[in-house]
Amino acid sequence: MPKTPSYRKRSGYDQAIVTLTDVATKRRRDYWLGEYGSPASRERYHRLIAAWEAGGRRHPDPADAGIERGASAQAEATEGRPTVAMVIAAYWRWAQRYYQPNESGTLRVALRMLRQYHGSEAAEDFGPKKLRALREAMIAGDDTCDPPRPAWSRGYINQQVQRLRRMFRWAASQEMIPASVYQSLDTVEALKRGRTTAREGKKVAPVPQERVDAVRPFVSRQVAAVIDLQLLTGARPGELLCMRPADIEQYPSKDDEPPVWLFRPREHKNQFRAMERTIVLGPRAQAVLGPFLEGRDPEAFVFSPAEAEAERRAAASAARKTPISCGNRVGTNRALDPERAVGDRYTTASYYVAIRRACDRAFPPPPPLGRREGETVAEWRARLTPKQKADLAAWQKTHRWHPHQLRHTAATEIRRAFGLEAAQLALGHSSAQVTDAVYAERDHGKVAEIMRRVG
């Protein structure tokens, strides 16, 4: 894909400029954006690029991109009316309290992009045409950002556009903008497969067992236990990371049956829908949990990063070769006020990072892509050429896996052994269609055996 035209300073002037080439006529045209380095000029630049992309890389009308207005005209156009940036600020304050962290984090990406392109415009002037132009910018990506923003997939774009529409609906309910603004944005249809240039996202695949086993030596016993529980139960990471002993109860069973535990997370994905989530723990899962439950406060988190750090320090101290009488005494070189304190529970983000770092240690990149002995991260990054950085990223993408893949692995194994309904119940889905379409990989071995006989 051709590079995006750059935002630059006009020689001899204190003005920003961008040069666009018409894809049909091959003519180049300069667009003046305003004072170089100002937020308004950068916003006009992003709007102009979006209009250029939306028009098939033909020269856009400057009025469509809103770059012909001067500062006084722009202020006059928005005087007495809330701007897009004002609506975003108000909505973000509300959304942080309303949505779960994962959803609010994804929403923040969409709001940041909307503010970057249309923040100073009147919110009620944001219509379907501007939304489609913004969507084209999502499709194209932006290599001028730091870091560069990659082209988003079709499904992710549809989700982000829907989030933006929800913001304008909320603003209409708060009487910040007319309801007609949201109603007009609702006329923009979602991107259809095969009818857009947006790339298709890759389906999350189960992680092979050998990849899971390879990282075990490089994670704490707490993280290893959560990995095992995900494979045994198919639970989401966030459900297990908030586990407390008080949330576990024993399910009544007959004398000749092995006991079964029920774990009801206090926090889970569908709690706002008033749905209850129950995770059943069998004998193998109980064996994993047992060492963490002994002597623990019923209200304390089962998996504690503070405990993991204490165990790591104790192991390092036990393995030290320097005599205790020499070198640093235990605990003397710790920061009194560390920038990041160890928490009492893992978050989904810290759990993800722990697995990613373990993958990097289990599958080190080949020389010269890897870090050399005694080399700092900054020195390592500075040494790599752009091509080597691209090769390193490709290597890491191939050899890393993330926690949600464990849920897919568990779903596939449960479905293969016990059927689709069992996988649906274990994963906590209200519909088997979700389990079938998203999580459980089909057993192609059965189909292959049938076709050996039939065809």
Distance of CA 10 to the CA centre of its chain: 38
Please give the pLDDT value at position 73. 47
Q: Do domains 84-185 and 203-319+343-363+400-455 have the same CATH topology?
A: no
251 DSSP β-pair partners: 260
- For residue 156, the one-letter residue type is Y
Domain ranges of the chain: 8-68, 84-185, 203-319+343-363+400-455
- pLDDT confidence of residue 454: 53
Q: 203-319+343-363+400-455 maps to which CATH number? A: 1.10.443.10
What pLDDT does 68 receive?
A: 53
Q: What is the pLDDT of residues 25-84, one digit of tens each?
A: 888 888 888 788 888 888 888 888 888 887 788 888 766 555 555 444 454 455 668 889
The class level of CATH for 84-185 reads mainly alpha
The whole-angstrom separation of Cα 445 and Cα 438 is 19
Query: Is the pTM here over 0.85, yes or no?
Result: no
DSSP 286-304: HHHHHHHHTT--TTS-SS-
Interacting residues of 237 by C-beta distance below 8 A, sequence separation 6+: 226, 230, 348, 351, 352, 403, 404
Which residues neighbour 294 within 8 Å (Cβ) at sequence distance 6 or greater?
Answer: none
Write the pLDDT tens digit of every residue in 351-368.
Answer: 999 999 999 999 999 988
Give every residue of the chain whose pLDDT is below 50, as ranges: 70-73, 75-76, 447, 450-452
